[in-house]
Every structure is written in C-alpha cells, then in structure tokens.
Amino acid sequence: MISELFTTTVLIGILASGIRLATPYLYAAIGEAFGQKSGVLNLGVEGQMLLGCFAAFYVALTTGNLWLGLLAAMIVGALMGLAMAFVTVNLHAQQGISGIGFYLFGLGMSDLLFQKLLGTVETVKGFPKIYFPGLSDIPGIGEIFFSQNILVYGAYLLVPLAWFVLNKTTLGLKIRAVGENPDAADSLGVSVARVRYFTIVLGGTLSGIAGASLSIALLNVFQQNMTSGLGFIAVALVYFGAWKPVGVLAGALLFSMVNSLQLWIQVLGIPVPSDIAVMMPYILTILVLVATVSRVRAPSALTKPFERED
Amino acid sequence: MTESNLLPSGKPRIESLEMRGITKRFPGVLASDHVDFDVKSGEVHALLGENGAGKSTLMKILYGLYHPDEGQILLNGKPVTISSPNDSINLGISMIHQHFMLVPTLTVAENVALGLPSSRGALTDLDRVSNRILELAKIYGLKIDPDVYVWQLSVGQQQRVEIIKALYRGAALLILDEPTAVLTPQEVDELFVIMRQMTRDGHALIFISHKLHEVVEISNRITVLRDGRKIGTRPTSETTKQDLANWMVGREVGFATDRGKTDLGEVRLQLDGVQCGSDRGTPGLRGVSLEVRSGEILGIAGVSGNGQRELAETITGLRKITGGRVRLEGQNVTNFPPGELTARMLSYIPEERMRDGVIREFTVAENMILREHHKQPYSHNGLLNLRGIASHADTLIKEFRVKTPSRDTLAKNLSGGNIQKVVLAREISREPRVILAAQPTRGLDIGATEYVRGQLLEQRRKGAAIVLISEDLDEILALSDKIAVLYEGQVMDIVPRENATPQMLGLLMAGVHPEEGAVAVK
Ligand SMILES: Nc1ncnc2c1ncn2[C@@H]1O[C@H](COP(=O)(O)OP(=O)(O)OP(=O)(O)O)[C@@H](O)[C@H]1O
Ligand SMILES: [Mg+2]
C-alpha cells in the first residue's frame, strides 16, 4: 500500500496540492510578519480570515463576481485590522488578549452571518486554473507549477514583494525601527502610531485575502469555522520564518507539503489512523518551532505598547 | 541670507533660542519651575544641577518630547510651538539623549536615514546616505563605518553615530544630555574636538555633565538648576569649580575625601586563578587572583571591557567560573548561586542599575527590600508585612537623602542619581561583610558622589571588605587601599595606594609595565 505513494502521478499530485495549499498560509503569515516587525502581535488572524472567508463567499455567490468577493474580503479584513489597531495603538491593550478577542469575534460573527444569510452549505465556482500555453502542458512541471489559480500566484509574488518593501523602502526601514526601538524612531519624528496602523491594517487585508483564497479559490465552499486553526499556524510560521518573508515561505511550504501528503495518504486509503495523519503537520510545527525559536531573536518591542512618557 | 549665516550643511543658523518661564509638573514633583534659559549660535551653554534638578526635563521640553504646563519658546526672537520631535527637527534642533536612541539591529546608515525623506522617493538611498556620512565624518574628523550594525559598536562609537545623526539632519542647535558619562577620557577629548569645531561653524550647543572640569573646559556660559528652579547664569570665565559646586548644592562641598586609617582584619574574599568566558569579543577572565581583607578597599582599575564586568559577575555568582576558585570568608563558594552568596552577606552595587539594580515597575519601598523580603520584619510566614516595609523605606529615604515624592513612587520615575541611592541604601543597610561596587558614582552629581564615597568609607571603617570597580582613576585613587589593574582579563599588577600614581596606573591600564617599559605578553 505504501508503495502507492511513490508512483509519479501521486507524487505530482502531492506537490501540486502542496503548492496550492500554501496559499492561505502565505497571505496570512506575510501580513502577520509586517505586524510583528513593527512590534504588534496579532493573534486575531484566524478571526479576520473567517470573516474574509465568509464575505468573499457570500458576495461571490450573490453577485456572481469573484473579484467583488475578493474585494469584500479585503475590506472586511482591513476593517478588522483597523479595530485591532485602535485597540492596541490608542488604547494600549494587551496584544495577546485583544487578539484572542478578535478571533472569537470573527468566529462567532462568521457563524451568525452564515446561519442568517445562507443556512446551508453551498458551493461557488472559484477562480479557475490559469492555462499557460505550452508551459501548462509540460508533463509534471505543468501540473505542479503552471495550472494553479490566480490567488496562488499572487501569494508567491507577495514573498519577494514583502522582502522588497521591508528591506528596500523607507517605509520598511520605519517598520523595522519601530519594532526594535520605538523610542528611537519617535525621537526622529517617525510616527510610531501611523506605522503600526499601517502594518496592522495591511495584515488584516492580507488575512482577508487568505480567507477568500479558501472559500473562492481552493475549496469553494463556506462552512462554520472552516479555517480550523490555520490563522494560528500562520502566526507560528512567522516565528518559524524568523520574521523573514523567505523564511515564512519555507515554513508555509513545509507545512503545506506535509499536509498534502497526509491528505493523499487518506485519499489512497493507506492504513494510518486518520487522526494521526491529520496531526502530522501540527506535530511538525511544534517540533520545528522548538528547534528554531531559541536561535532567532524576536523584534525587541514585540507586544510592547508604545507611549511617550508625558 | 548671506553666506556667513549658513552652516556647513547649508542650513541656516539658529542665532538665538530662548525658553521663557518654562514650568512642568509631574505627579508629586515640580520638575521645572518658571525656568528661563537661552543659547546662541557659536557657544556652548552648560546646564548644571544635582540629580533630579530638572535638566533632562527642560531639554525634553525643548525637543518636543514633553509638553510644558506653562512657558514660551522663542527662536531668533519669534515664538514657536514645539509639540513633537518632528517640530524641533524641522526647526533645526537635535538631541543626544542620556540613554542613546539607536536601533541596534540596523546599520549606522539606516539609523541615520531613519525618518528622513529619501532622494529616491519611497525607496531608500542608503548608498547616498553612506557617502554623505563619510563626507561629514571627514569634515569633523570622526571615524565611522556606515555599513556596520550598531550593536557591534562600542559606547563611544555609538555616540559618534548620534552626533552624525544630528549633523546629517543639519541641526543648528544640538542638545547633549550627559554625553560623557559613559566615555573614556580619550573619547571625551575627541568629543570636545568635535564640539569646538561645531561652535566655530556657528552651531549652538547645550551641554549637560556632572563633571565640573569638563564643564569648565568646554563651555562659554553656565546655568545652574536646583530643585527645578534656575539659580543663575554666569560666563564660565568668571567661575571656578569650587564656586560651581557650592552653587549647585547650596552648601560647601568638599572634594577631598578623608580615608582615615583602619585596621586590616581577616581575608574575606579570595580569588584564586579564576577563569571565565565572555559575551562578545571581550577577553573574559584569564586566571585572576586577588584578596580583600576586612576593613580594606581594593580598587579595580582598567579601561572598560578588560574583564571588569566578568569579574563582577563571577564574584556575585551570575557567571559560570570555568577554572580557579572563589572563597568567601575562607569557604569555597565557587559557582554558588547568587541567592546563596547574598545569604552570606555579599552585597552588590551593579553597574547597570536601571537593568540589574532595581525593578523599574516596583515602588521605591519594594525595591528597598528586594534582598531581605523573606525575613523579619518585612514578612512573616510568607506574608508581607506592609507596615514593616514602609517604615524601613521611610528610614532609608531619610538617611540616604533619596529625592522621591513618596516611598510608593515607581523606581522608573526617579532621576538617575536617586535610583542609585535606592540601590545603595538597600545594599549597605544590611551590614554586609563583602561589598562589590561597580561604577558606584557614574552619572551621580557631586553631592551624591561625595555621599556615596563617604558611605563606602564608612562601611570600610565598620569592617566590610570592599571591591571597587571603577573607570574613574580619581575615584580609585581617592578610595582604595590597594589597586589592581585589569588588562585583557588578567591582573597586570597590584600596587599599594601609597605607591600608585596616575601615570603609572595609566601605563598599566595600557598593558605596559612601567619599570620594564615592555608591553605585556598576551
Ligand atoms: N516621566 C516622569 N514621570 C514622573 N516624574 C518624572 C518623570 N521624568 C522626570 N521626573 C521627575 O522630575 C524630576 C527631574 O528629573 P530630570 O530627569 O529632569 O532630572 P535631571 O536633572 O536630568 O537628573 P539626572 O542628573 O539624574 O539625570 C525628578 O524628580 C524626576 O523624578
Ligand atoms: Mg538627566
């Protein structure tokens, strides 16, 4: 039975879905990385994703326009980010606690809206695979890399983009400074509040897209609590990736590949208890986190509210 | 505008800046009480005052970090509003803070570029910033590498980055809040060269320091603050160090410390070939042997980074000893945990008092019982006795003249010098048998310095064995009975006070044996 895993078709299948499954992690974790780089830990990612997930699905279903659905998810995510920014920046709330609050809000609200507005599980036709003439037809490679939908490609483009913004722009310099020594940034006239508002709202927007990628690009349904912890994994991936976009990419891929593997194990009916199979990616996360986290230092001001003494 | 009105950076000078009637209240403190202060282009105006007199507060108001309750600021005769650092930077005012404001994980160039518009719009222009830094460095004779990370730099180098930051922003007025507290004498000289050049170019400088000889050397005018009030302003040429000291404190201050004679008792602390590792680059300890007797002060001299920190940490049990032995009152205590050493009445006055000496978010009273909190009368059966703690705190506050609104004020709201007094009060009031004091007077005003030194001598008279680590040679010579010089983690020599001269210690600190004239073999 195990040998079934090693046929070419299955291997290609595992790789293709692994690439695809990394999408929501990438959007959410890159967004979270911006927040953490500026010193804000947002544990509400999961809630932002759930609401984005629902908004995208509902708007796409009712208007028939996927792009409007995506836009709705972005707006909902951005608004959630705005609320989080207000609570952390202006009210100096304890970030871990307020994040959990936003998670619970997103969880409950998406469920409520689902009950009121939909009632049953429905499906939409999600973003289609893109066909690249020539490339998509290459055996293996074509299926793995050149027959994914637009949101998948967007997620991978985000990685170099995020790196560029963080390392090559004045905005990125401000973000890094604010996360390490907000007093120093403040003393040079950099608005700590404005920088953090920006990163948190950006993070919310990207979490919204992450949610949308589930409901209108990958799974094309909406169910209660359908992110099932994915947003929390995204937070862990930021630590795993040592606050670097490339590191986040590596983490997301590792995680989604293992996930894809366990899905295929179940599909093929290989006799591994399904609970164990499902746990594989999570166990892996814990192990890798334990191995990596002690090595790299988090931004010094992470989770610390900033306030001038006066 | 004529050529001569411009600074080398091309920015206009600040011909005059005037603060009028500045008042600032903090809970329980009037930190600034109708203070007038002014500074002109081309001069260094020094600001003097005891710890907590309100110097930093006044300067933070000028820089826009604090908002005054009353008062007015005039720039070239016109009133201006400064409500944030952004405003002051735009007006040409820069500040070097008492605690540096650098981002250690960024490079020098990135620290300089932070918050400034880039010539490439949204993209950074670090290559151009680096070039400009090198240009400025050349004009002012500063050695600096724009591409290294700030965490790799020594304190003196970090200060240069702060100065470059200000010059780069075209600062016409620069506030230097205790810039010399952490510098070696050589680094102070280098700083003064830069400051003189800046005033020649037409900058206006405000300089804060507790070291009177520095103030006399570099300033044109001196203003003295006491308890938030301005006592007066005088040209430097019309004052002496002694005048200034009396003026600041409001009474006669003695510079000479009378050590008196004590009888030496038994050996209390003994180090035998102690070795240990280090953090970054510094040598650690490489076989250090020392002994201190009851009633004796052993001074540890040396240039910062030659093993002083490691020595303090090994004696107090904070760092693992990899070779050799430490004995406390004859008993082997090598690698004993700090708590055990405390119980044996070892007291420690740490160098970084903000980090290691107090808990910033605790009150003064709580900080005063940190070591003895589990004992009578501060607690009983695991419950704290608040009344006992309060009366203990009140006694110490009075005895040690700690300037604080109340015993329930948080430690972080005290001025630097008063935090030091809290630590000292706690460590000395328990009648320790051995005291390790690291830079005990750094950042203290002269009154407090005199007081701390007096306290150490008093403990010596009572029979404590004291190890005094200090980079201030005057302090070492004033207090020690014998002096050990640390160089690259080793003891160069141990000399009795009577035989020591500053010249000889200076040579030893540089790794040269005076009589041999030879460089120590590593
Ligand atoms: N943020 C604050 N909150 C409450 N009190 C403060 C605050 N900042 C300063 N103070 C108080 O204001 C007074 C003046 O402090 P300031 O720091 O200006 O003194 P300083 O002259 O700079 O002293 P030092 O020489 O020790 O640096 C002190 O009594 C201090 O406790
Ligand atoms: Mg001060």
Phi, psi at B197, each rounded to 5°: -60, -40
Contacts of B414 (CB under 8 A, 6+ apart): B52, B364, B402, B403, B404, B422
User: Are B101 and A189 inside 8 Å of each other by CB?
Assistant: no
Domain co-membership, B104 together with B220: yes
Q: Which of residues 26-85 of B touch A (CB under 8 A)?
A: 60, 63, 65-67, 84-85
List chain A pLDDT tens, one digit each, 310 residues.
567 667 888 889 899 999 999 999 999 999 999 999 999 999 999 999 999 999 999 999 999 999 999 999 999 999 999 999 999 999 998 888 999 999 999 999 999 999 999 988 889 999 999 988 888 888 888 888 888 999 999 999 999 999 999 999 999 999 999 999 999 999 999 999 999 999 999 999 999 999 999 999 999 999 999 998 899 999 999 988 999 999 999 999 998 998 898 888 888 888 888 788 888 878 887 887 777 666 678 888 898 888 876 5
Domain co-membership, B288 together with B337: yes
A186 contact B CB<8A: yes
Task: Identify any residues that bridge with B74 across adjacent strands, giving them in sequence order.
Answer: B18, B79
A173 contact B CB<8A: yes
Q: Are B77 and B137 in contact (CB under 8 A)?
A: no
Q: Are A120 and A67 in contact (CB under 8 A)?
A: no
Please tell me the predicted confidence (pLDDT) of residue B515: 66
Q: Find out whether the peptide bond into B377 is cis, omega within 30 degrees of 0.
A: yes
Number of domains forming the structure of chain B: 2
Residue B104 lies inside a defined structural domain of this protein:
yes
- For an interface test with A, give the residue of B69, B103, B169, B174 to mutate (most A CBs within 10 A): B103
Residue B392 lies inside a defined structural domain of this protein:
no
Residue B277 lies inside a defined structural domain of this protein:
yes
Instruction: List pLDDT tens digits, range B139-148.
Output: 888 888 999 9
The amino acid at residue B27 is P
Taken as a whole, chain A contains a residue count of 310
User: Are A180 and B103 inside 8 Å of each other by CB?
Assistant: yes
Instruction: Tell me the CA–centroid distance for residue B413 and ligand 1, in Å.
Output: 7
Per-residue confidence band for B260, with pLDDT thresholds at 50, 70 and 90 = confident
Domain co-membership, B9 together with B148: yes
Token pair for residue B388? 């006992």
Domain boundary among the residues B222, B249, B276 is at B249
B331 by Cβ neighbours in 10 Å (0-12 / 13-18 / 19+) ranks as exposed
| CATH number of this structure's domain A2-294 | 1.10.3470
Domain co-membership, B26 together with B81: yes
Q: Which domain holds residue B293?
A: 267-345+431-519
Which strand (E) or helix (H) includes residue B271?
strand B267-276
Per-residue confidence band for B60, with pLDDT thresholds at 50, 70 and 90 = very high
Taking alpha carbons only, the member of A66, A24, A6 closest to residue A255 is A24
Distance from CA of A247 to the nearest CA of B (A): 18
Residue B108, ligand 1, Cβ within 6 A:
no
Domain co-membership, B296 together with B153: no
CA distance B416 to B8: 36
Domain co-membership, B97 together with B217: yes
Taking alpha carbons only, the member of A70, A82, A89 closest to residue A44 is A82
Domain co-membership, B194 together with B328: no
Residue B402 lies inside a defined structural domain of this protein:
no
Instruction: Tell me the CA–centroid distance for residue B159 and ligand 1, in Å.
Output: 22
Residue B447, ligand 1, Cβ within 6 A:
no
Chain A residue at shortest CA distance from B86: A189
Distance from CA of A308 to the nearest CA of B (A): 7
Domain co-membership, B198 together with B280: no
Q: Identify which ligand lies nearest to the alpha carbon of B50.
A: 1
Taken as a whole, chain B contains a residue count of 522
Chain A residues within 8 A of B165 when measuring between CB atoms: 188
Task: Identify any residues that bridge with A123 across adjacent strands, giving them in sequence order.
Answer: A221
Instruction: List pLDDT tens digits, range B491-521.
Output: 999 999 988 888 888 888 888 886 654 444 4
Neighbours of B28 (CB within 10 A): 11
The amino acid at residue B490 is Q
Residue B395 lies inside a defined structural domain of this protein:
no
Q: Are A210 and A28 in contact (CB under 8 A)?
A: yes
Residue B417, ligand 1, Cβ within 6 A:
yes
Domain co-membership, B311 together with B224: no
Chain B residues within 8 A of A177 when measuring between CB atoms: 103, 106, 110, 114
Which strand (E) or helix (H) includes residue A195?
helix A192-213
DSSP letter at B77?
T
Domain co-membership, B306 together with B189: no
Phi, psi at B267, each rounded to 5°: -70, 125
Domain boundary among the residues B199, B221, B249 is at B249
Residue B90 lies inside a defined structural domain of this protein:
yes
Chain B residue at shortest CA distance from A173: B114
Residue B54, ligand 1, Cβ within 6 A:
yes
Contacts of B174 (CB under 8 A, 6+ apart): B93, B94, B95, B96, B163, B166, B198, B203, B204, B205, B206
Task: Identify any residues that bridge with B485 across adjacent strands, giving them in sequence order.
Answer: B301, B493
CA distance B461 to B349: 18
Domain co-membership, B158 together with B217: yes
User: What number does the ligand 1 atom closest to the CA of B418 have?
Assistant: 26
CA distance B361 to B340: 26
Token pair for residue B501? 């001269």
Residue B254 lies inside a defined structural domain of this protein:
no
Q: Are A225 and A50 in contact (CB under 8 A)?
A: yes
Domain boundary among the residues B249, B279, B302 is at B249
State how far Cα A9 lies from the chain centre: 29
CATH label of the domain that carries residue B435: 3.40.50.300
Residue B216 lies inside a defined structural domain of this protein:
yes
Please tell me the predicted confidence (pLDDT) of residue A293: 64
For residue B282, pLDDT beyond 80 = no
Which residue's CA lies nearest to atom 1 of ligand 1? Answer: A309
A187 contact B CB<8A: yes
- Given the DSSP bridges, would you call strands B44-49 and B204-208 parallel, antiparallel or unpaired? parallel
For residue B436, pLDDT beyond 90 = yes
Instruction: Say whether pTM exceeds 0.90.
Output: no
Segment among B295-304, B379-388, B423-432, B458-467 with least mean pLDDT: B379-388
Which strand (E) or helix (H) includes residue B347?
strand B346-349
Instruction: List pLDDT tens digits, range B338-364.
Output: 889 988 899 998 877 766 788 888 999
Domain co-membership, B232 together with B320: no
Residue B413, ligand 1, Cβ within 6 A:
yes
- For an interface test with A, give the residue of B60, B93, B114 to mutate (most A CBs within 10 A): B114
CA distance A40 to A303: 5
Task: Select from A183, A308, A309 the residue to mutate for testing ligand 1; criterion: most ligand atoms less than 8 Å from CB.
Answer: A309
The amino acid at residue B369 is I
**Which value, to the nearest 10 degrees, does the dihedral of the CA atoms of residues B460, B461, B463, B469 take?**
0
Instruction: Tell me the CA–centroid distance for residue B412 and ligand 1, in Å.
Output: 10
User: Are A187 and B84 inside 8 Å of each other by CB?
Assistant: no
Q: Identify which ligand lies nearest to the alpha carbon of B65.
A: 1
Instruction: List pLDDT tens digits, range B119-129.
Output: 999 999 999 99
Phi, psi at B382, each rounded to 5°: 85, -5
- Give the pLDDT mean for B21-29: 92
A294-303, B35-44, B421-430, B443-452: range with highest mean pLDDT: B35-44
